[in-house]
A = this chain, B = another copy of it.
Amino acid sequence: MNRDEAPDARNRILDAATQLFALRGFDATRVTEIADAAGVTKALIYYYFSSKADILDCLIRELVDKLTSIATDFVHESIVQMIKKGYLDIKPDRLSFVNEDAKDHFLRSLRVCCERVLDHAIAHRATLRILLLESLKGSSKHHNILLKIHESTRDNSEGSLYKAIVDADKDFTYSDDLRVFNIFFGYVPIVSFASYYDNYKKISNLTDQELRESFLNSLWIIINSMVSGSELLLRTKNIGG
């Protein structure tokens, strides 16, 4: 069901649940608390949702849909365009650009994209926090976002992100190292930053603007590393020591 066409009470329930699940976690949140916070009766919650878990499912589904569409946009608008235009070539052992202009162009569009992703993450930080909390629990299979992300790098089915990249560049393949890097130094910091946003803001005494800049600076260093270090990551070989 779409938020726009849904009854007001139903949306108030979802909003209240979002705040409470994010604050206390799903298990520690009582249906009564949601009802109170939403200004409705408990019974009405069961009119709109079949169970407490159903509210959570609904929230997660909304978020995943939104994230998927953002990711899809990014891949199609940036990477695929770059590859198709011939600026970028993902070789087995490195990202390869036709020239410095292409590289600059890529980095610039990546930067814009990162900012957009970060802003989205901050805007939906409560739901992301819920997702993070739930994904840490061993029980609930259907909230395993880790699995979803991982599969997105293998999923060859029509319309998938991976397929989109592979269609653009036949040689592209994810190395195990790249996956680890992507997840634990890409997704995880962004989701964590969003999840801890309010806490960290309070602790650090930074303004929204300063916090955003600060994180983007860090993220940028990582992205540069990834572009420069891509050679290493794509090769899946031990380095350093």
- As a 0/1 sequence over residues 110 to 124 of chain A, the CB contacts with chain B under 8 angstroms (1 = contact) are 011000000000000
Question: Contact string, A176-220, partner B, CB cutoff 8 A, digits 1/0?
Answer: 110111011100110011011011100110100011011111101
With beta carbons under 8 angstroms apart, the residue of B137, B195, B220, B233 that contacts A240 is B220
A51 at the interface (CB under 8 A from B): no
Across the interface, do A192 and B184 meet the contact criterion of CB distance under 8 Å? yes
Q: Select the stretch in A1-9, A59-67, A144-152 that faces chain B.
A: A144-152
**In the complex, which residues of chain B have a beta carbon less than 8 angstroms from the beta carbon of A224?**
225, 229, 240
State the oligomeric state as a number of copies. Answer: 4
| Given A27-B25, A136-B129, A189-B184, A238:B222 Cβ within 8 A | no
Given A210-B176, A217-B238, A218-B233 in contact, is the A25-B185 Cβ separation under 8 Å?
no
The answer on a CB contact under 8 Å between A146 and B180 is no
7 A-B contact pairs sorted by A residue (CB < 8 Å): A181-B221, A185-B222, A217-B239, A217-B240, A220-B239, A221-B233, A225-B225
